[in-house]
Amino acid sequence: MPSSLRCLAATASRRRRPTLNRALDRMVESIKAGRLDGLMPVDRHGRAVRLG
C-alpha cells in the first residue's frame, strides 16, 4: 500500500489497553497481508479512497 494511504478502524466498545493493543496488532498484520475488509482506506487529507 502506498505510504500516502491510511486505514481507519473502529472498536465497538471501550477496551483496556492490552486488549486494544492486540486489536491494533491484528489490524497491522491484516494490512500487511492485504486483507482490508473491515477497514476504511483514506488519503492523507482524510478523504475515503476506493481500492481496486
43 neighbors 35 (Cβ within 8 angstroms): no
Residue 19 lies in a domain: yes
CA-to-CA dists, residue 37 to 16, 17, 34, 43, 51, angstroms? 24, 24, 9, 17, 11
Instruction: Name the DSSP class of 4.
Output: T
Beta bridge partners of 42: 6, 48
Q: How many domains does the chain have?
A: 1
Position 20 in a domain: yes
Residue 22 lies in a domain: yes
From first to last of the 52 residues of the chain, give the pLDDT tens digit. Answer: 446 778 777 766 665 667 778 888 888 898 899 888 888 888 888 899 888 7
pLDDT of residue 13: 63
Cβ contact 17:49 at 8 Å: no
Q: Which domain holds residue 18?
A: 6-42
